[in-house]
């Protein structure tokens, strides 16, 4: 348990990212009002970050914590989009070079944003292995520091600032719903929330078509799904084939369950978030709210629920299709 990220580490990350990451609001979901008229669902709108996703927290915190000489050599990462964009944003803010290894299937809107931030993009096949191996080779060849997307204590501490803010804004929170991809977000959020409010319940959410975290929790060890399986979901940010080892250790310690949602539920939730809460969610960002709206019976009882809307970087053509 000692290698798990602690509350003081998350608090230090919060100090590092202050003024860079937005302290995002908890937005009431209108039709989730309880009998008292008080909203029972609050949406943590990480779509309002400068790069449109929570990933800026972990990336900036991790890079800012590097010794100056190491930072000056530049950084490399591998990502399907939002983490790559976060690393590019952090590198530009800190005045260093960033190289991003991305699958060639990444939505154009995410690639364009990375290039606009001055990063160099290297395309690979859409498998976790191809991404990680290419990034490691580049790090070894050029002296770059690897900034992993999720399996890294510095990154987890940064993502944990989401949980810190949730409890500070709503000390009475009962249930926190968090999307699961590689597991960095739910690892950090669960560590922060459980440290500050142990009685709160943490529920992970993922698509039915990429339910490796659900299977991992059931098996008691990380279970991998094939790229062709996870590639079926519309939620491109949740297509990671297996949760990281360090995130999984946090999940075993702090997470109370995993719920899966369907493709139709994701689409309808994207539409409802836009129309009812005026929030833009990419498919991956909508899954936690979808769990509240369509799987409430599977969730722990509570008065105050928070869903993490992890990102809003949706392909415009897909968003138009969803709104129809």
Confidence (pLDDT) at 38 = 53
Could you tell me whether strands 41-45 and 26-28 are parallel, antiparallel, or unpaired per DSSP bridges? Answer: antiparallel
Confidence (pLDDT) at 218 = 95
Query: Tokens 């084939």 correspond to what residue?
Result: 241
Say whether pLDDT at 282 is over 80: yes
Say whether pLDDT at 33 is over 80: no
Say whether pLDDT at 1 is over 60: no
Measured between alpha carbons, how far is 300 from 211 in angstroms, rounded to an integer?
20
Say whether pLDDT at 220 is over 70: yes
Class of the CATH domain delimited by 7-53+154-323: alpha beta
Percent of the chain with pLDDT over 90: 81
Measured between alpha carbons, how far is 220 from 224 in angstroms, rounded to an integer?
13
Residue in 176, 174, 261, 164 with CA at minimum distance from that of residue 210: 261
pLDDT-derived band at 2 (thresholds 50, 70, 90) equals low
Say whether pLDDT at 76 is over 90: yes
Say whether pLDDT at 134 is over 60: yes
Highest mean pLDDT among 110-119, 123-132, 165-174: 165-174
Confidence (pLDDT) at 31 = 67
Can you tell me the mean pLDDT for 128-137? 91
Confidence (pLDDT) at 239 = 82
- DSSP sequence for 266-314: HHHHHHHHHHHS-----HHHHHHHHHHHH-GGGSPP-S-EEEEE-B---
Confidence (pLDDT) at 241 = 83
| Domains 7-53+154-323 and 56-150 alike in fold | yes
Mean pLDDT of the residues in the chain: 93
Confidence (pLDDT) at 18 = 97
Residues annotated as catalytic are 55, 80
Are the CB atoms for 79 and 149 separated by under 8 Å? yes
Confidence (pLDDT) at 236 = 83
Highest mean pLDDT among 99-108, 224-233, 270-279: 270-279
Give the CA count within 13 Å in the CB-facing half-sphere of 61.
32
- Domain ranges in the chain are 7-53+154-323, 56-150
Class of the CATH domain delimited by 56-150: alpha beta
Query: Tokens 């972990």 correspond to what residue?
Result: 58
Can you tell me the mean pLDDT for 263-284? 96
- Of residues 35 and 295, more confidently modeled: 295
Say whether pLDDT at 106 is over 80: yes
Confidence (pLDDT) at 166 = 98
Helices (H), the chain: 7-17, 55-64, 68-72, 82-94, 108-116, 128-142, 153-159, 161-169, 184-196, 212-219, 227-230, 245-254, 263-276, 283-294, 316-323
Confidence (pLDDT) at 262 = 96
CA angle 12, 17, 18 (to 5 degrees): 95
In sign, the C-alpha dihedral spanning 130, 134, 140, 146 is negative
- Of residues 228 and 192, more confidently modeled: 192
């Amino acid at each position: 348990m000692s290698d798990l990220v602690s509350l003081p580490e998350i608090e230090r990350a919060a100090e590092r990212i202050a003024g860079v990451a937005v302290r995002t609001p908890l937005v009431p979901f209108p039709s989730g009002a309880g009998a008292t008229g008080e909203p029972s669902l609050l949406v943590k709108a990480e779509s309002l970050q400068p790069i449109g996703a929570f990933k800026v927290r972990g990336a900036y915190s991790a890079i800012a914590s590097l010794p100056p000489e190491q930072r000056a050599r530049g950084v490399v990462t591998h990502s399907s989009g939002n983490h790559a964009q976060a690393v590019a944003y952090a590198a530009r803010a800190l005045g260093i070079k960033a190289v991003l290894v991305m699958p060639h299937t990444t939505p154009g809107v995410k690639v364009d944003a990375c290039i606009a931030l001055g990063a160099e993009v290297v395309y690979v096949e859409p498998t976790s292995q191809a991404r990680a191996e290419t990034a490691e080779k580049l790090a070894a060849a050029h002296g770059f520091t690897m900034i992993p997307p999720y399996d890294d204590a510095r990154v987890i501490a940064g993502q944990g600032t989401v949980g810190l803010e949730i409890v500070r804004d709503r000390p009475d929170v009962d249930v926190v719903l968090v999307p699961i991809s590689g597991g960095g977000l739910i690892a950090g959020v669960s560590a922060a929330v459980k440290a500050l409010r142990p009685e709160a319940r943490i529920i992970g959410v993922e698509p039915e078509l990429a339910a490796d975290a659900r299977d991992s929790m059931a098996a008691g060890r990380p279970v991998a799904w094939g790229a062709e399986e996870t590639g079926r979901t519309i939620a491109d940010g949740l297509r990671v084939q297996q949760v990281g080892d360090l995130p999984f250790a946090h999940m075993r310690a702090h997470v109370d369950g995993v719920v899966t949602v369907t493709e139709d539920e994701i689409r309808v939730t994207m539409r409802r978030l836009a129309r009812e809460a005026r929030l833009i969610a990419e498919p991956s960002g909508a899954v936690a709210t979808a769990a509240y709206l369509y799987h409430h019976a599977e969730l722990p009882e509570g008065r105050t629920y928070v869903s993490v809307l992890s990102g809003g970087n949706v392909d415009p053509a897909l968003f138009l299709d969803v709104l129809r």
